[in-house]
Chains A and B, each alone.
Chain A
Amino acid sequence: MKQSKSSFTIRKVTESRLFFPFVALAFILLFDLIAVPGFFRISTKEGNLYGNLIDIVRNASTVSLLAIGMTLVIATGGVDLSVGAVMAIAASVAALLMNPYVLATELPPHILKFMNDPNFTYQPLWIVILVTLIVATICGLWNGLLVAYGKIQPMVATLILMIAGRGIAQLITNGVRIQIFYEPYAFIGQGWIILPFSLYLVAIVFAIAWLLTRRTAIGMFVESVGTNSRSSFFSGINEKRIKLLAYTFCGLCAGIAGLVASSNIKTSDAFNLGQTKELDAILAVVIGGTLMAGGRFSLLASIVGAWVIQAITTSMYAVGVPAFALQAIKAVVVIFVVLLYSEQVRGFVQKITVQKEA
């Protein structure tokens, strides 16, 4: 049956990919407005902005970075479970490059002196960052090769690196948890230039990803491959290369997230760093309205999704939910958010808006 959809404005808004993530975020903030007095207060210290809202977006930055890469992977119809492990690998590589001496059993005293000097690094910062990101990109490339050319199911293929990655991360530092003292590195996760520095990183990565997908044909090809890979192949799209690109880029994003996370906690904790972050990233993408089956995606919506997750956590702390109860409460909220996404609920909302206009 032919269906002509009129261009009702409210309808357009509710059909937009950004509508539901923002509604979810609005609900949580509305809760804060009522339950937590002064939640929205933003103060300035030395010209920098502080407050709960800033905390939310700052703490969400690792998941935001992961979600950007994850969005592309999920849009191709895949999933990357290894991003948490890749974060750990990145952290280990970076820490090792700054301070390889921890691996030596006996150190000459003149080096021992440098060890916790905040101005000491073995390699200059740009090399640390560059090498770390190259290693993370290679991790992504590996996933991409397995999925696109090895034709292994994405969940299985990335599970390999998810498990092996933490082992690799520990091998890199010889099982040692390397403390990071170098101050300029700490700036990545902890620095502020009016807003937290990590926010600028998210903005830059987002801008690059957006330009890469929306100003070239890549975004459309990703959506096409994720929607119907056979049709895409028949249309001349090299779906293997598109998948390879998505996973590789996802690895790069995980590397950047690893830099931010390790600079935040000032250590390369191969075991705990990025633990279960892959699940948060997937959840952020899902909240952002990208289907796990692949297809249409919105990078901005995924970032809003990351904010939603972090807003839940921050709000719960703000109302005094103890840490041990947090996961359970978070789960309840997530159920509500995800319910907003069910076809039934969406159809219902759209019906209401249509009826109001008619």
Chain B
Amino acid sequence: MSDSDYVVEMKGIDKAFPGVQALSDVDFYLNRGEIHAIVGENGAGKSTLIKILTGVEKQDAGTVTLGGKAVTVKSPLHAQELGISTVYQEINLCPNLSVAENILIGREPRRLGSVNWKAVNAQAKEFLLQRLNIDIDVTQKLGSYPVAIQQMAAIARALEISSAKVLILDEPTSSLDVHETAQLFQVMRKLKSEGVAIIFITHFIDQVYEISDTITVLRNGALVGTFEAAGISRLELIAKMIGRILTELDEMSKIKLESGKHIKGEAFLQAEGLGLVGAIEPFDLELHAGEVLGIAGLLGSGRTEIAHLLFGIERPDSGTLEIDGKEVKRFSPLASIGRGVALCPEDRKEAGIVDDLTVRENIILALQANRGWFKFLSMQQQYEIADRYIKLLNIATPSADQPVKNLSGGNQQKVILARWLATNPQLLILDEPTRGIDVGAKAEIQKLVLSLAEEGKSCVFISSELEEVLRTSHRITVLRDREKVTEFSGEVDEQKIMQSIAGSES
């Protein structure tokens, strides 16, 4: 392959931030019309590499060559002009504007100086249909569409801005369900066939194999290697990402079997006909001490709604809930903490971290809320608790006094986990605890769940990664369209659960 085939060539990239070498001597080559995955744990340097390519950051050393010409990307705008478009993890469009407006904002076709709305809508619709194969009403507000469509709109906008030669997708699938992901992949394949080179950043190994041609692995700011997707096995890849072989996953099933023996007969939590109109149909649920209950289902199937009911975020309008033998009358997070229930919410940014507060404050927040305004934990106690969990959960932070916003996503997730472990809960509800975090941290969290069960605590484990639910749960409840459809216990195979999630039971 001759050099000119590369759309992007990055050579010997170095980048240091105060106190940290983010990238050292990294090479990256991107071919025309390929889907190139960049993988690595949190802090491996993926986003820094992308930021350099898109002009957000400037490299300390190394060269960037686009289509054979050495360039200095000065700004994100400059990158767009050069044909590099990016869709970020958090969709940064305006949900209150229509889809068409979002796609064409700033470049609306005009007539006599005023915006020609007819043309805007027609152009946007045509663009979506032609380039992305999706047919929707573009005059509707963007916010009224599911996340997947919003993502498509973001891609459409990225493509529209510059006739993009390079499209960067940063964690595009982290909030999509299976169908939506498939839809996105179709779009990606179509763009690929049109010669667009796509850089795909993700934590989902399955997806890396499903869609990408080439994989570049980064670890601790250094290049581990670039591989043909077909030529490297999963285990090899993971080993390269985390620098050690994952025997932990094997261990896990043993621990699970072991912890299963500790399940006690009496129910710690019992829900009968619990439901809330518009959120979840009435359901029965039983949970024993020492048990991990998995909840499987697609996005929007009612998983989060169940978690919210059990934790008292919402008040149910039917049924009864009994926890530890007492009927629940007061539904509020504070009352739930008092009952020994904890919830790690799905949305880390919105409902989890308090980003200006320090790691220490974030960790003691729920415990202190339970103690009230005046029984303030002394500084010494606060540091003790914080340091204990920083150690226990391997939270990577320079100190307990670091604002939590400076931590990477995985570590923020661990901080929230620490917040709830500090309240010493009897029942821990985890809603998507491993979303957007790296393989190593995922395994740690799963192990933690099982060790909690071993201590006789109960756990509700909600995840869109079925494999993970299977690995950790003693029993699995399946939801479909805001309704509990079935429950599995003992040895179950993935296929059966998938069928009931999809609703195609025989």
Measured between alpha carbons, how far is A224 from B407 in the docked complex, in Å? 17
**Of the residues B45, B368, B375, B406, contact of A220 by C-beta under 8 Å:** B368
Contact yes or no, A1 B333, CB < 8 A = no
Q: Is the interface of A mostly helix, strand, loop or mixed?
A: loop
Cβ contacts under 8 Å, B368 to chain A: 217, 220-221
Bound-state CA distance A283–B419 (Å) is 36
A233 to B375, alpha carbons, bound, how many Å?
19
Q: Are A217 and B376 in contact (CB under 8 A)?
A: yes
For window 232-253 of A, CB contacts with B under 8 Å fall at 232-238
- Chain A interface size, as a band, is 20 to 34
Q: Quick one: given A5-B402, A227-B355, A236-B337, are A215 and B376 in contact (CB under 8 Å)? A: yes
Distance of A217 from chain B, by nearest CB (Å): 5
Task: Decide: B355 and A236 in contact? CB cutoff 8 A.
Answer: no
Residue of B355, B369, B375, B376 touching A237 (CB-CB under 8 A) = B369
Q: Is the CB of B313 within 8 A of A234?
A: yes
Residues of B within 8 A of A1 (CB): 17, 20, 22, 43, 45, 47-48, 408
B19 touches A6 (CB 8 A): yes
- Give the residue name and chain of the A residue nearest to B15 (CB): A1
Residues of B within 8 A of A236 (CB): 332-334, 336-337, 366, 369-370
Is B299 positioned at the interface, with any CB of A under 8 Å from its CB?
Answer: no
**Chain B residue contacts of A5, Cβ below 8 A:** 18-19, 398, 402, 406
Q: Collect the chain A residues with CB atoms within 8 Å of residue B230's CB.
A: none
The answer to whether the Cβ of B273 comes within 8 Å of any Cβ in the partner chain is no
A3 touches B333 (CB 8 A): no
Report the nearest B residue to A238, measured CB to CB.
Answer: B334
Beta-carbon contacts under 8 Å, A1-51 to B? 1-7
What is the CB-to-nearest-CB distance from A79 to chain B, in angstroms, rounded to a whole number?
A: 18
Residues of B within 8 A of A217 (CB): 368-369, 371-377
Q: Which of B329-350 contact A (CB under 8 A)?
A: 332-334, 336-337, 343, 345, 350
Which parts of B23-58 form the interface with A (CB within 8 Å)?
42-43, 45, 47-48
Chain A residues near B402: list those with CB within 8 A.
5
| B371 and chain A: residue at smallest CB distance | A217
B376 engages A224 (CB within 8 Å): no
Q: Is the CB of A3 within 8 A of B17?
A: yes
**Total inter-chain residue pairs, C-beta < 8 Å:** 110
Contact indicator B354/A228 (Cβ below 8 Å)? yes
Given the known inter-chain contacts A5-B398, A216-B374, A236-B334, please indicate yes or no for A224 contacting B20, CB distance below 8 A.
no
Contact B407 A235 (CB under 8 A): no
B396 at the interface (CB under 8 A from A): yes
Q: Tell me if A234 and B19 are in contact (CB < 8 A).
A: no
Selected contact of B369 from candidates A3, A221, A296, CB within 8 Å = A221
Q: Is the CB of A237 within 8 A of B365?
A: yes
Q: Please determine whether B356 and A231 come into contact, CB atoms closer than 8 angstroms.
A: no
Minimum Cβ distance to chain A for residue B40 (Å): 12
Q: Given the known A-B contacts A1-B17, A3-B20, A354-B18, are A227 and B370 also in contact in the complex, defined by CB atoms under 8 Å?
A: no
A230 part of interface (Cβ distance < 8 Å) = yes
Q: Does A278 contact B (CB under 8 A)?
A: no
Asked whether A196 is an interface residue with its Cβ less than 8 Å from the other chain, the reply is no
Q: With the chains together, A237 CA to B402 CA distance in Å?
A: 22
Given A2-B408, A231-B350, A233-B333, also A221-B18 (CB < 8 A): no
Enumerate chain A residues within 8 angstroms of B374, measured Cβ to Cβ.
216-217
Most B-side CB within 10 Å, residue of A4, A232, A234: A234
Residue of B nearest to A8 (CB): B18
Give the residue name and chain of the A residue nearest to B377 (CB): A217
Given A227-B355, A231-B353, decide whether A216 and B406 contact each other with a Cβ distance below 8 A.
no
Q: In the complex, how many angstroms separate the beta carbon of A225 from the nearest chain B beta carbon?
A: 9
In the complex, A235 Cα to B345 Cα: how many Å?
10
Decide: A218 near B22, CB < 8 A? Known: A3-B17, A235-B333.
no
Closest A residue to B372 using CB positions = A217
In the complex, B235 has a CB within 8 A of chain A: no
Residues of A with C-beta under 8 A to B350 = 228, 230-231
In the bound complex, CA of A32 to CA of B40 (Å): 58
| Of the residues A2, A220, A231, A295, contact of B352 by C-beta under 8 Å | A231
> What is the CB-to-nearest-CB distance from B408 to chain A, in angstroms, rounded to a whole number?
6
Q: Which residues of A contact B345 (CB under 8 A)?
A: 234
Closest CB of chain A to B359's CB: distance in Å?
12
Q: Which B404-456 residues sit within 8 Å CB-CB of chain A?
A: 406-408, 411, 419
| Interface contact A235-B365, CB-CB below 8 Å | yes
Distance to closest chain B CB from A317 (angstroms)? 39
> Considering residues A217, A228, A233, A236, which has the most beta carbons from chain B within 10 angstroms of its beta carbon?
A236
Q: Judge whether B351 is part of the interface by a CB distance below 8 angstroms.
A: yes
Convert B388-399 into 0s and 1s, putting 1 for each residue whose CB lies closer than 8 angstroms to a CB of A.
000000001011
Q: Is B361 an interface residue (CB 8 A)?
A: yes
B498 → chain A closest CB, angstroms: 31
Of A3, A220, A228, A232, the contact of B19 (CB 8 Å cutoff):
A3
Least Cβ–Cβ distance between A214 and chain B, in angstroms: 9
**Chain B residues within an 8 Å CB radius of A230:** 350-351
Q: Is B93 an interface residue (CB 8 A)?
A: no
Question: With an 8 A cutoff between CB atoms, is B357 at the interface?
Answer: yes
8 Å CB contacts to B: which residues of A92-133?
A: none
A231 touches B19 (CB 8 A): no
A223 at the interface (CB under 8 A from B): yes
Q: Which residues of chain A have C-beta atoms less than 8 A from B20's C-beta? A: 1-4
CA distance A218 to B371 in the complex (A): 12
CA distance A217 to B334 in the complex (A): 15
Q: Given A2-B43, A217-B373, A218-B373, are A232 and B354 neighbors across the interface (CB < 8 Å)?
A: yes
Contact between chains at B406 and A3 (CB < 8 Å): yes
Could you say which of B17, B375, B377 has the most chain A C-beta atoms within 10 Å of its C-beta?
A: B17
What are the residues of chain B within 8 A of A235 when measuring CB–CB?
333, 354, 365-366, 369, 419
- Interfacial chain B residues near A295, Cβ < 8 Å: 356
Q: Provide the bound-state CA to CA distance between A29 and B368, in Å.
A: 43
CA distance in complex: A231, B22 (Å): 30
Q: How far is the CB of B241 from chain A (nearest CB, A)?
A: 16
Among B17, B351, B399, the residue within 8 A (CB) of A231 is: B351
- 7 cross-chain pairs, A with B, having the tightest CB-CB distances, nearest first: A236-B369, A4-B19, A236-B334, A2-B43, A227-B356, A236-B333, A4-B398
A-B contact pairs, 13 of them (CB 8 A): A2-B407, A3-B17, A3-B18, A3-B20, A221-B373, A224-B354, A224-B365, A227-B356, A228-B350, A232-B354, A233-B351, A234-B343, A235-B365
Known: A5-B398, A234-B352, A238-B334. 16 other contacts (CB 8 A): A1-B20, A1-B45, A1-B408, A2-B396, A3-B17, A217-B373, A217-B375, A217-B376, A220-B365, A221-B373, A227-B354, A230-B351, A231-B351, A234-B343, A235-B354, A236-B333
